Amino acid sequence: MADSVLIERPAEGVGLIRINRPEARNALNMEVRRLIARHLTEMGEDDETRCIVLTGNEKSFAAGADIKEMAGAGTIEMLARGTHKLWRTIAACPKPVIAAVNGFALGGGCELAMTCDIIIAGESAKFGQPEVRIGIIPGGGGTQRLTRAAGKYKAMRYVLTGDLFGAKAAFDMGLVSEIAPDGEVEKRAIEMARQIAELSPLAIQQAKEAVLRGMDAALDTALALETKAIQILFSSQDQKEGMAAFIEKRKPKFSGR
């Protein structure tokens, strides 16, 4: 049996995590969820990895939870699974994570994409939270992250009907960062990841943290977080190297120190 999650190194400083269950449209069973969380944790602690791409295959990013696996589960079993803790681990990765979405990103697959920092979608990609159609609701952050990305009224429209929406609609509502031609999504994601990996990892980490921690904070609190972050960076070697390289008109060599 093929591994359900594959690890690749497509470029220097870039790690790629690939969901590999094509026979099930990359449905997210517990094994896949645990492996994604584990690999993201490992890459988050690896100094050689500066940016991460999360993807599936050309037909599906992830078509949702594995319904066959969870259909007979009761309350205690669902609590014991701790799925929300796995999703929290993914969202807490200190490195930038780019979702490269081809095909379907539905239910848990849409929620997984929304835990990432950047979403690049193929022109034919389909998103959705169709859980109400099988008698449940999104349970991996869909009701909250979709609302924060798209606003209450657009989120309600899709959460309450279970309707799917395309890449253009996702881009227009602020869920998708960029649309790429089908067949070039992964290439574009790796290209962007390589670009990020060449920058100062300290600055990138502080920038990500400032955005995420500031999103739901009061403006004054968020601005204070930003101010402290930039002040901290002025004590780094990367700041000295970056500004020296700018003045000397050369490409900087960031060390992460």
Give yes or no: 65 in active site.
yes
Catalytic site residue 197?
Answer: no
Q: What is the DSSP letter of 71?
A: T
Nearest by Cα to 129 from 233, 216, 149, 118: 149
Question: Which of 35, 36, 34 shows the shortest CA–CA distance to 53?
Answer: 36
Spell out the alpha helix ranges (H) of the chain: 30-45, 67-70, 75-81, 83-91, 108-114, 142-150, 152-161, 167-172, 185-197, 201-214, 219-233, 237-247
Identify whether 108 is a catalytic site residue.
yes
Distance CA 63, CA 201 (A): 32
191 labelled catalytic:
no
Say which of 24, 62, 63, 65 is annotated catalytic: 65
Q: Look at residues 184, 57, 171, 54 and name the one whose alpha carbon lies nearest to residue 122.
A: 184
- Write down the catalytic residue from 56, 108, 109, 122: 108
86-98: string of b/e by CB count within 10 Å (b at 16+)? Answer: bbebbbebebbbb
Check 103, 131, 167, 210 and give the catalytic one. 131
Which amino acid, one-letter code, is at 100? Answer: A
> How many degrees, rounded to 5, is the angle at CA 87 between CA 81 and CA 93?
135
Residues with catalytic roles: 65, 108, 111, 131
